[in-house]
Amino acid sequence: MRTIGALTIGQSPRADDLATEVAAALGPGFRLVERGALDGLDRAEIAALAPPAGEYALITLLRDGTPVKLDKPRLIPLLEARITELEAEGVDAVVVLCTGPFPPLRARIPVVRPQQALYHLAKGLAAPGRVGLLVPLPEQVAQAGAQCAAIGMEAVLAVSSPYGGDQLADAVRAFARADVALCLMDCFGYSTAMKRAVQGALGRPALLARTAVARVVAELDGS
């Protein structure tokens, strides 16, 4: 049995069903070990990781289900520290449970950074049509749009937080008006229930980050 380190940018265990859905998509030949970049930090230490106003932000959950925004550069050393811990525990690989763009992380074992794989997969599946790119924060729209342009993916962007709010229906209507070929749900916070809601309302396929990445990892195992 292969052991995968499931590394969230928040706290572990996750307050939602992320780990359960990732484990189900991986299949019976894998065991998950959860860790969080914010494990062991108190509220004041977490507050110090907030992004400057108006800057690019990541969003995640604390153990009690509270959503928090984080500054990516301040987060990277914490992710690398958790990777070192997971290496010491003997995991075979680490999956970063976040679709944000990350630089290579210091590690002695494979570390899966999902964004590039997901964007290229969405581009290929949608071709020659457009992708409806669903992101959780308004602060992410400009950078996500630039990343789409960089790989030649024509995308229509919309915002809906997976952690509350009622923006999902508006986002789906925007995608329908744009006649997208599929929706890429660009955050690990989006669940299979949310995917079903998007597909039902849009009438087009939806690519869910948490399950798509898990299935790619299972495929790479080769067993």
pLDDT digits (tens, 9 = 90+) for 154-198: 999 999 999 987 899 999 999 999 999 999 999 999 999 999 999
Is residue 223 pLDDT above 80, yes or no?
no
- Residue 128 tokens read as 């020659």
CATH number at residue 195: 3.40.50.2300
Torsion angle of the four alpha carbons 12, 13, 18, 24, in this order, in degrees rounded to the nearest 10 = 120
CA atoms of 198 and 41, how far apart (whole Å): 35
Dmax (CA) of the chain: 50
Is residue 96 domain-shared with residue 121, that is, in the same domain?
no
Structural domains in the chain (count): 2
Residues 119 and 33 sit within 8 Å (Cβ to Cβ):
no
- pLDDT at site 153: 97
Q: pLDDT above 90 covers what percent of the chain?
A: 94
CATH number at residue 25: 3.40.50.1860
Mean pLDDT for the chain? Answer: 95
Is residue 90 domain-shared with residue 154, that is, in the same domain?
no
For Cα atoms 93, 98, 104, give the angle at the middle one, nearest 5 degrees. 60
Is residue 78 domain-shared with residue 25, that is, in the same domain?
yes
Is residue 110 domain-shared with residue 120, that is, in the same domain?
no
State the pLDDT confidence band at 221, using cuts at 50, 70 and 90. confident
- pLDDT at site 124: 96
Strand order, beta sheet including 182-185: 155-159, 131-135, 182-185, 206-208
Extract the runs of DSSP E, i.e. beta strands, from the chain.
2-8, 30-36, 58-61, 67-70, 93-96, 111-112, 131-135, 155-159, 182-185, 206-208
Is residue 107 domain-shared with residue 54, that is, in the same domain?
yes
Is residue 63 domain-shared with residue 137, that is, in the same domain?
no
Is residue 64 pLDDT above 80, yes or no?
yes
Is residue 99 domain-shared with residue 7, that is, in the same domain?
yes
Is residue 130 domain-shared with residue 81, that is, in the same domain?
no
What residue type is assigned to position 63 of the chain? R
Is residue 172 domain-shared with residue 99, that is, in the same domain?
no
How much is the average pLDDT of 97-111?
A: 95
Is residue 97 domain-shared with residue 132, that is, in the same domain?
no
Domain ranges, residue 96 = 2-114+212-221
State the pLDDT confidence band at 76, using cuts at 50, 70 and 90. very high
The pTM for the full model equals 0.94
